Amino acid sequence: MKILVAVKRVIDYNVKVRVKPDQSGVELANVKMAMNPFDEIAVEQAIRFKESGAADEVIALSIGAPQAQETIRTALAMGADRGIHVEASHDTEPLAIAKIIKAVVEKESPGLILMGKQAIDDDSNQTGQMLATLLDYPQATFASGVEIAGDKLNIIREVDSGLEHITCPMPAVVTVDLRLNEPRYASLPNIMKAKKKPIDALSLDELGVDAGQRLKTLKVEEPPAREAGIIVDSVDTLVDKLKNEAKVI
């Protein structure tokens, strides 16, 4: 069985994001980029399935500028077998990404598609659900536990009331959450081996996908600075301020 994992190149989560002076977006020049943390968890899970014998091949897919190949190489260094890079010269929106992945799925016929529940740059949390709809596949979102049992998946999801256990047939789309696993670090030998692993380059025209932009960003601005807190001298004063100033009770 093949497992297809979608990975996205985003600003490293340790970097403080800065808004451009013209408020047209965030500053990307000379900024450290990395694989989306949720996607990294998806790659780790796919590799674990391969190591356990439940999968034969792990394919890492990324969409975007040529630099997206760096993100694919990271997945290959972790243990993925090969990569697919779909070149896109402009920012792609969740629906366009879902259409592109659908075209790749039809080309590769994987038994399982794994991806992070959301990307930390736009926080859309839409692509997995849209992809499952376009493919007419079962979907499991926010997975904190995934087990392959024959031709089915046993999924654990964290919900408000506790843990939800669901089962779905494969092929399926699964979006993963933080507590699913702890991604491994790529060793130096594996990083060197990853340079020799194949990455197939595909264009939007080859896939027959319209990835035109349908959303327009009007303005990007930083959140307002938090006001300094105060120290109160009694519970009565605290209750009064919560009730009359903060108006939260």
| Rounded average pLDDT over 53-81 | 94
Q: Is there a cis peptide before residue 171, judged by omega within 30 degrees of 0?
A: yes
Whether the pLDDT of residue 58 is over 90: the answer is yes
126, HSE (Cβ side, Cα atoms, 13 Å):
11
Domains in the chain: boundaries:
2-244
What pTM does this model have? 0.85
| Rounded average pLDDT over 61-80 | 93
| CA distance between the termini of the chain | 55
Per-residue pLDDT at 164: 94
Q: Which residue would you say has higher pLDDT here, 76 or 223?
A: 76
The topology under which CATH files domain 2-244 is: Rossmann fold (3.40.50)
| Rounded average pLDDT over 167-174 | 95
Per-residue pLDDT at 248: 83
40 pLDDT tier (thresholds 50, 70, 90): very high
Q: What's the count of helices (H) and strands (E) in the chain, helices before strands?
A: 7, 11
